[in-house]
Structure 1
């Protein structure tokens, strides 16, 4: 449907420090050239091990970035593997700085472009037994009538604002509005929730693991959240999770609120693990197409043993930015929009019944109360999970 080679060419043109690596033929990944991410406690040891190629380093919010000398022409992936110990249980937390993406039409993020939509009824907040917060790490948040008068929106600074036209070409950037859209999906399922938006992706839908780790560290220092939504991700060079991201998530889960982390399964239409969704500690959400009154896997959605749940992800309607032809509402498709539906349902159950997010997640994803599908996990339907017919899903 889309020319992936052209999309990749444009991505590399915008990010001249990005490079495609392919340790296993046919299983590519994107990394920042000449960069290693290291857990702070491991930084002195790693710096000593790579001193021949080390150029500079910096500590920032729970992660140490090491830059290698470009003239050394080091294979960053091979170096990371050698330093970490190429075994199942790595001794040192060191990894290349992978690009994470929510960009339409290539590897992750929405499966297509947003479409103009008629106004969607605003969620109606209701009394809850307790307050819940959903952290949305994405492209940021734009003002919208649904929430712009709330106290939680007023707490956001300029660093959390959407960037709509970074290249000043008078057109909406490819993924601008993604974070606003996702916040709206959360609110539709958890209307009393507080949103904490953190910008880790540009308007083109591209970020990196460094920005994600920094945001997770800031969130942990702030006190965490009840639920964290990550509608982003990547494939890694070795198809294993980044140990640096893993440690950041572990620190976050040990924070005061012990949040549940929900992530999109990705839009490559395959079973290759997509990170961080494929981590055992993360709830991975695939997308369903329910337009024919039955639950089929959306054509773009990833699937596999590592997927925990699936929810509607085709022609989802939500709030959006105001720009050009868009007047605050859109429809969009992708696992990016299935994930916040599940995140919102978990947050809402926790709020209504005054239970922990972990307990709410267990109940929302309980296979005893819902059907399951091979390689797609538990079927989570926002209205009634029993309304969908029991046809098999084609994977």
Structure 2
């Protein structure tokens, strides 16, 4: 077994060992992961959901309603619920009644996008130190909200160049194994922040932990993080996942609609690293939907300088490609990474490359929406059928 395959297998086992995660496999073997026993449903279709629960043998007293969802939604938990069956039951009846929205769905599980599937390049490898350009006096500072893992203090990241909701001492609670895999979260946010700072002296990342130590988050976690987006015009989402029947996630759709329908804001999202060519990876895939705010989502594939990386997801919903293979950035200081820098690959790292370019274009464009359009429109290289940044 190749080292990268061994790494991917161990990551998959860690995820499979989480008792709160369930999966449903498609015919091609690709999985959809979601929270066990939980259903998210629109208020007006809750009566149908109760019928679906009764069909599975549940009584009204069995229903437990969880909080942390926006107005207009219910989040219910029933131990032993066949979530996929219940969601499809509600959807079918809602569509028969003429409601074209996704009326119900699981609380989907999303992963950071080198997680378990960083392609042929495998886990992070030590790299010689790179450079972080100094901020020029008088340069307009652009905040970029990064919803990601926690941040390790033992890192080359300059403390005055970012804001973090949660920081920890690396040596105190994490070891790195022979393949560079951490027992906790893997320095992913440190790496993403380094790409942002390397590419643009304007950016000040705000790093918010929503992804847990296994590299995963729930749809409800992502939505809770998006509620903190006020004041940030660029949101970096180096994470994502697949959904039941490839339909848009019910709660995330409403959250992004509220965030992007008005105001000046864009979401830059990773395309995923499974080498899929026909399957939407959310939230990036919103760029290819009919949502009126779809142009505020920039879906980023990864290239290796010559072509789209074989492990990068692609599809009609891709907006632009950016460098994502063997990227060098800040990681963690450790005996295996003595300089604190690493090389790593994934659409996770193509994404902040684009977010930084939008930040750089913002002063001249006048709005972040126009800055995003300028960056995509100015991508003068072609990688297959996609425009790409060098």
Q: What range describes the TM-score normalised by the shorter chain of this pair?
A: 0.7 to 0.9
Tell me the equivalent position of 1:226: 233
Contact 2:236 2:269 in 1 (8 A): yes
Tell me the equivalent position of 1:266: 272
Shift of the 318–89 alpha-carbon distance from structure 1 to 2, 3 Å rule, reads farther
**2:148 equivalent among 110, 115, 138:** 138
Q: C-alpha deviations, 1:289-333, integer Å up to 9, x for none?
A: 12xxxx212121111211111111111111112234224211111
C-alpha separation between the residues in 2 aligned to 1:218 and 1:49?
A: 35
Report deviation, 1:8: 2.6
Shift of the 46–210 alpha-carbon distance from structure 1 to 2, 3 Å rule, reads farther
Contact 2:39 2:106 in 1 (8 A): yes
Q: C-alpha deviations, 1:146-182, integer Å up to 9, x for none?
A: 43034x53xx34xx33685897667533642101110
**1:317 equivalent among 324, 328, 332:** 328
Report deviation, 1:55: 2.4
C-alpha separation between the residues in 1 aligned to 2:377 and 2:108?
A: 33
Provide the secondary structure at the position in 1 that maps to 2:228: helix
Matched, 1:380 2:389: yes
Provide the secondary structure at the position in 2 that maps to 1:119: coil
C-alpha separation between the residues in 1 aligned to 2:150 and 2:10?
A: 26
Matched, 1:33 2:36: yes
RMSD of Structure 2 on Structure 1 (CA): 3.0
C-alpha separation between the residues in 2 aligned to 1:218 and 1:105?
A: 24
Tell me the equivalent position of 1:391: none
Shift of the 270–166 alpha-carbon distance from structure 1 to 2, 3 Å rule, reads farther
Tell me the equivalent position of 1:329: 341
C-alpha separation between the residues in 1 aligned to 2:90 and 2:355?
A: 36
Provide the secondary structure at the position in 2 that maps to 1:9: helix
Residues 6-85 of structure 1 mapped to structure 2, 5 A cutoff: 7-13=11-17, 15-38=18-41, 48=50, 52=54, 53=58, 55-60=63-68, 62=70, 66-70=75-79, 73-85=80-92
Tell me the equivalent position of 1:303: 314
Shift of the 362–127 alpha-carbon distance from structure 1 to 2, 3 Å rule, reads farther
Matched, 1:348 2:328: no
Shift of the 167–9 alpha-carbon distance from structure 1 to 2, 3 Å rule, reads farther
Shift of the 231–170 alpha-carbon distance from structure 1 to 2, 3 Å rule, reads closer
Tell me the equivalent position of 2:290: none
Shift of the 360–298 alpha-carbon distance from structure 1 to 2, 3 Å rule, reads same
C-alpha separation between the residues in 1 aligned to 2:172 and 2:100?
A: 39
Report deviation, 1:190: 2.0
C-alpha separation between the residues in 1 aligned to 2:266 and 2:9?
A: 36
C-alpha separation between the residues in 2 aligned to 1:249 and 1:12?
A: 29
Provide the secondary structure at the position in 2 that maps to 1:198: strand
Matched, 1:205 2:215: yes
Tell me the equivalent position of 1:388: none
Contact 1:101 1:109 in 2 (8 A): no
Count of aligned positions: 361
Tell me the equivalent position of 1:385: none
Contact 1:286 1:307 in 2 (8 A): yes
Moved more, 61-70 or 179-188: 61-70
Shift of the 45–355 alpha-carbon distance from structure 1 to 2, 3 Å rule, reads farther
Matched, 1:239 2:246: yes
C-alpha separation between the residues in 1 aligned to 2:139 and 2:9?
A: 50
Report deviation, 1:188: 1.6
Shift of the 78–165 alpha-carbon distance from structure 1 to 2, 3 Å rule, reads farther
Shift of the 194–317 alpha-carbon distance from structure 1 to 2, 3 Å rule, reads same
Report deviation, 1:102: 1.8
Report deviation, 1:214: 0.9
**2:189 equivalent among 167, 173, 179:** 179
With the length of structure 1 as denominator, give the TM-score of the two structures.
0.81
Q: Which runs of 5+ in 2 are unaligned?
A: 288-293
Shift of the 197–27 alpha-carbon distance from structure 1 to 2, 3 Å rule, reads same
